[in-house]
Each structure stands twice: as C-alpha cells, then as structure tokens.
Structure 1
Amino acid sequence: MARWMQRINSRWAKAGDGSPLPPFRWWQLLGRSVFELPAAPGRAARYTVDVRHMGDRTDGAVRARLYRDGALAAVSKLPTAFPVEGGAIEVAVNSIGLRRCHFVPDGNRAGAHVLTPLPASAEGRRARFDRDHPAASRLIGALALAAVLIGVAVGGYELVMQLSRIPAVVDAIGVIDRPVRIPLEIGIAVGAGAVLGGIERALRLRSTWLDEFAT
C-alpha cells in the first residue's frame, strides 16, 4: 500500500528547468521550508526540498521543488513523492505548515527519516534550539501539546453545541442547554494558544489533524 501511494503521489511531479536554488532570506522564516538530503554511499547527489507555504504567485498552489546539487530537478503539487537514488523523498503539508519531509529507503519504510532542515530556516533554528537546550525544548514541546489539546477540547465543545442547534438534531434528542458558556476573551486566548502550539509542532514536523482542528 505504501509503495502504491508513493507511485500515485509521484505522478504529480514534473521535470524542473535547472534553475538555481534561491537563497533563503530572514523574512521567509514562517513562509518557506527548506530541507536537505546530503550525498551518501549509493547517492552521489545532494538533494534540497523547497516549499513555499503561501503558494506560487501564478496560481496560489503550494508546491514542493526538488533541487539536485542546487539545480531545479522537479516540481510537484502536494502531497508528493520524489524518486531519488535508493528511495524517495515524501513531502506533505497541512494548513499549519510542513507535515512530512522524509526520505524513505527502497524496501525499508520503517527506516524513513526526516531530512535535515536548513539552519537559517525556522525548522533549522528550532532543531538547533533542541540540540542546545534539550530540557527547555521538551518543556516548550509539552506546553505546545497542552495548548493544542485545550484547543481541541474547547473546539469540540463548541462544535457539539452548534450541532445541537440543528433542527433535525433537536427533533431527535430535544433541546440541549449549554452547561458552560465560554467567555469571548477566553475563547480568543485558547485559539491563539492553539495556533502557536500548532506552529511550534509543525516546526518539528509533528503536527496532525488534531492541530488543524484546534486552530
């Protein structure tokens, strides 16, 4: 199934024009993700994946660009899988950021691993902070997860309350009184916390559908 999905996703890819990889600018911290797969035995080339989260200027579609030794080799809508020597690079996004940027070896999906983020990117800075301050990094990660889970709880509660107002639901189970009314200020604070928590988790490629629901 994994290989079949990989083949389906790879059909989005189109050949690149060989243009060089644009340099990373500081103002692209939250709008651009750049990950690298260095050369290794059996893979002489160095690959770079570039994703612009705001979409292309032409049509607004979010695409991944694969550079081979700094030259554009392929462009694809997402999700996608770029075949490379010894495996494939799988790339996927969600509404928060990058969800997947992994190298998957041929015949060993369990050996998949995340590509190395560009040090200047937001993901690279987050990874460096994790290496330099592991205890603080774990604390921030725990707080981010807590913010997302609180956002899921509040969002789920509000969703249930809204669904309970549908006439068909009222006819089936009757009117449900709202047991707790969440003040607007608390709702805004929870939403902002969920967004920040989701962004932090996306920088570590750990965001899931829960993060999207919470935000």
Structure 2
Amino acid sequence: MVRFMDRLRRNASATPDDGTDGGQRLQPFRRREMLHRALFTISHDGPDGPRRTWTVDVRMKDLGWVAGLYLDGARQEEHDVPAAFAVPGGTIEVKASMYGITRMHLVLDSGRERRLAPVAGTAEDLRGRLARRHPRLSRTIGVLAIAILVVNLALAVPQAIEIVTGLPPIADHVGSFTSPVSTPPWLTAVLVFAGIVAATERVLMRRHNRLLDIETIWSSF
C-alpha cells in the first residue's frame, strides 16, 4: 500500500503531456473512435476511500494497444498491452488481440475476479445492449460466428501444413504435403473478411476458445 501511494503521488505531480489521452484527465469517448479505442470501468476501493471509479482507456497504437489507468478521471499510469495495473486489494489485467480487448478483469488478492464493464457508447457496450434487448438475434449471430471460424479453421489447417512441409529442410526429411482443398481467390477473400467479422464479434462478447479462436491469427494474413 505504501508503494501504491508513492506511485499515485508521483503520477499526480507529473507534468501533463500531449499523448494520445490528451493529458492527465480522461477524455470523453466519441463514436468515431469506436474502431481504435475502448473504455472499461469498475467501482472499487481507492487508496483513500471505498467505491472509487477505476477506468481503463485502451487505444490502438502502431501495431499494438496501449492502456491507461484512471482513478475518478485522473490518469495514474500507462502501459503497453498486455498490462497489469496494481490497485488496492488486487490487479487489473488487460489483454488484447488485433480485433479488440480479450481480457479486462480485476483480480482480487483473494483470487476472485470481477469483469470491468464497457463504457456507454463503445462497441462492446453496443454489442452488449443488442444481446440484452434481442437475445435470440444475439445467439444467432454468435452461432454464425462460430460456424464461420470452424470453416476457416478447417481450411487453414491443411493450407498451413502445405506451407510448412514445403520448406526445403522439412520437405527433404518428411516430404511435402498438398492441401486437398483449393479455393478461388474471390472465395478466399470472402472467407477472410467473414473471419475478421466473426473474430471481432467473439472479441466484443469477450468469448474465447483456445482451439476455435486460433483461426483469428490465420484470418489476419
């Protein structure tokens, strides 16, 4: 707790910068930022009292993401994602893929986890509203996303094996493999686009499966 308080004092005395977050105060979310910014918040004890508002502002930076931690709107620190922010009684863990936020949890010292809620107006919030207002439609979208990822995964595996076994060192020892599936360029483009949309849907709902969502890596090529 002493180290945590020292860090807060250092951050409070820091000179405002002109970085992406616009200085020391949390900037309002704008709809035009939906594709490259996400905001999540949670009510949790602060260093000087209970029920304080902690907010994580995640923005796209170059080829990755950067996350800023705010306490009642005042910036505390900033790290590249994946990031772990120490807060009283726990740690806020942040992870992301190229499609969005994959983990945003407060992990308490007891081991219990609490998920941070998306701020109103963000893509995650809008997708959550759709799920609450139209659960049947939401489930249909989720099933379609899974089906698309399964199809793309089934196509990606033999193609990946063909690429790997085509490398001279491997081909000389085990031989080469030719994928039995060949898709025309237009269909490949459609499947890649559909895979990106499906992967984004999964991220917005913060759903992840180690086998199924490995396809999200392939669909980015």
- Classify the TM-score, shorter chain: 0.7 to 0.9
- For 2:113, the aligned partner's letter is A
- Counterpart residue number, 1:48: 55
**Conserved 8 A contact 1:21-1:70:** yes
1:103-143 Cα distance to aligned partner (Å, 9 max, x none):
111122xx313201011000010111111111111111111
**Conserved 8 A contact 2:45-2:88:** no
TM-score w.r.t. length of structure 1: 0.81
- Counterpart residue number, 1:159: 160
CA–CA separation in structure 1 for the residues paired with 2:76 and 2:29: 18
- Counterpart residue number, 2:109: 106
- Counterpart residue number, 1:210: 214
- Counterpart residue number, 1:193: 194
**Among 18, 23, 31, the residue aligned to 2:28:** 23
Q: Can you give the 5+ residue segments of structure 1 that lack an aligned partner in the other structure?
A: 1-13
- Counterpart residue number, 1:79: 82
CA–CA separation in structure 2 for the residues paired with 1:99 and 1:174: 38
Q: The residue matched to 1:44 in structure 2 has which SS? A: strand
- Counterpart residue number, 1:10: none
Are residues 185 and 61 of structure 1, via their aligned partners in 2, closer, same or farther at CA, if it must alter by over 3 Å? closer
Are residues 66 and 175 of structure 1, via their aligned partners in 2, closer, same or farther at CA, if it must alter by over 3 Å? closer
Are residues 61 and 180 of structure 1, via their aligned partners in 2, closer, same or farther at CA, if it must alter by over 3 Å? closer
- Counterpart residue number, 1:64: 67
| Identical-residue share of aligned pairs (%) | 31
Q: The residue matched to 1:38 in structure 2 has which SS? A: strand
- Counterpart residue number, 1:126: 127
CA–CA separation in structure 1 for the residues paired with 2:105 and 2:44: 15
Are residues 61 and 214 of structure 1, via their aligned partners in 2, closer, same or farther at CA, if it must alter by over 3 Å? closer
Q: Give the strand-richer structure, 1 or 2.
A: 2
Query: Stretches of 4+ moved more than 6 A in 1?
Result: none
Are residues 171 and 43 of structure 1, via their aligned partners in 2, closer, same or farther at CA, if it must alter by over 3 Å? same
- Tell me which moved more, 160-169 or 82-91: 160-169
Q: The residue matched to 2:51 in structure 1 has which SS? A: coil
- Tell me which moved more, 203-212 or 87-96: 203-212
TM-score w.r.t. length of structure 2: 0.79
- Deviation, 1:62, is 2.5
Q: Can you give the 5+ residue segments of structure 2 that lack an aligned partner in the other structure?
A: 1-9, 17-23
Higher relative contact order, chain-length normalized (CA < 8 Å, sep 6+): 1
CA–CA separation in structure 1 for the residues paired with 2:28 and 2:178: 56
1:8-43 Cα distance to aligned partner (Å, 9 max, x none):
xxxxxx947571111111111111110000246973
- Deviation, 1:170, is 2.8
- For 1:69, the aligned partner's letter is D
**Conserved 8 A contact 1:194-1:214:** no
**Conserved 8 A contact 2:195-2:216:** no
- Deviation, 1:154, is 1.5
CA–CA separation in structure 2 for the residues paired with 1:177 and 1:97: 34
- Counterpart residue number, 1:34: 39
Is 1:93 the counterpart of 2:96? The answer is yes
